[in-house]
Amino acid sequence: MTFRPFHHAGLRFSLWDDGEPGDPRLPVVFQHGLCGAEPQVAEIFPAAPGLRRLTLECRGHGASEPGPLDALSIATFTDDLAAMIERRVGGPVVVGGISMGAAIALRLAATRPDLVRALVLARPAWVTDSAPANMQPNALVGRLLTGHPAEEAQRRFEASDTARHLAAAAPDNLASLRGFFARAPQPVTAALLRQVSADGPGVPAAALAALGLPTLVLGHGRDEVHPFGHAVALAQLIPKARLTEITPKVADRSLYTREFRAALAGFLDRLAATATSTPS
C-alpha cells in the first residue's frame, strides 16, 4: 500500500491506495473501526491482483488530522469519504468497513448511491438506531477520559461492572477498550468515543429495504460491542444481502483472519466476474 496525503475541508488526511486514477482493477474502499486505522484493514483484506484497495483514515484516526472535535461524527466521516471517492476514483466502487467503517459504508450507500456499486458490512455495531446499548462500553471510556487523567480513568474503568462483565463475556472487546487509555492525543480519543458512541448511521429501515446492491454482511459471536444479532438484522433488512458467520476473534484470531479474508475474497471475485461478463 502507498500512503498518499489527501486534502479536504482544510484538513490533511491519510489515504492508503495501492493504485492510481484510471486503474483498471476493481476499486474497493474499505474503512477501519472506531479509534482504529489502516493496519486494521490490512490484516483482513485479501491479496488479489484484480483488486485496488483504498482506505481513508477518518478524522482523528491514524495520521489524519482531527479538525474541530465537535464535528467528529459518522455523517462527517461519510462526507469526507465521498469527497475522496469522487476525486480519486470518480465512479461507483465497492464500499465496506469494520464496525464504525461499516456504518460509514452503509450511510454512503444510502445517501450517495451513485458512488456505491456493492457493500460490505463487517462486524456492524449499529443497525438503524443511534446510541445502541452495545456502544455504551466505548461511551464509558470516553466519559472517563474526558474527566480524568488516563491512568485514573483506566483505574475507574477496571473497577466498573462493565469491565468485569466483558472480562468473562468478551475479553477481546475488553482488550480493545483497555488500549484506548494509551491512545494519544487523549482529548481526541475521548471525543471520538463519546460522540461516535452516541451517533448512528442515520439510515432508517425503509432506506435499508430500498438498497438494491449486492451486500456481504460478516459477523461472529462472543462480541458484545458488535453483536451477531446486528449482522443478522442488517442481512434481513437489505434485500440482496448475504450473511456469513466467521470464527470469533477471541476464539482463534488466525482463523478469524483467514475466514474474513476468504469470505471477502469470494464476494469480490463474484463482483469482478460479473463486471467482466457484462457487455459494455
Place of cell 440482496: 240
* Domain final residue pick, 198, 219, 245: 198
* Residue listed under C-alpha cell 438506531: 129
Could you tell me if 65 and 190 lie in one domain? no
Report, in angstroms and rounded to the nearest whole number, the Rg of the chain calculated over CA atoms: 18
Check whether residue 152 and residue 257 sit in a common domain. no
155 in the same domain as 49: no
> Do residues 174 and 46 both lie within one domain?
no
| 106 shares a domain with 18 | yes
Confidence tier at 279 by pLDDT (50, 70, 90): very low
Span 94-142, pLDDT tens digits: 999 999 999 999 999 999 999 999 999 999 999 999 999 999 999 999 9
Are 215 and 126 in the same domain? yes
- Each residue's pLDDT tens digit, 23-54: 999 999 999 999 999 999 999 999 999 999 99
Domain with 146, as residue range(s), is 131-198
Same domain, 248 and 162: no
- Examine the domain organization and report whether 145 and 10 are in the same domain: no
Q: How far apart are CA 9 and CA 115, in angstroms?
A: 19
Question: What pLDDT was estimated at residue 275?
Answer: 67
In terms of domains, do 182 and 98 share one? no
Instruction: Give the model confidence (pLDDT) of 237-265 as tens digits.
Output: 999 999 999 999 999 999 999 999 999 99
| Domain identity same for 110 and 246 | yes
User: What is the 3-state composition of the chain as percent helix, strand, coil, each rounded to the nearest 5?
Assistant: 50, 20, 35
Label the pairing between strands 215-219 and 2-8: unpaired
Q: What is the pLDDT of residue 280?
A: 42
Q: pLDDT for 56-104, tens place per residue?
A: 999 999 999 999 999 999 999 999 999 999 999 988 999 999 999 999 9
pLDDT at position 209? 98
The CATH number that applies at residue 268 is 3.40.50.1820
Q: Using an 8 Å Cβ cutoff, are 125 and 134 in contact?
A: yes
Domain count, the chain: 2
For residue 276, pLDDT beyond 80:
no
Tell me what pLDDT residue 188 has. 98
> Within a 13 Å sphere around the CA of 114, how many CA atoms are in the beta-carbon half?
4
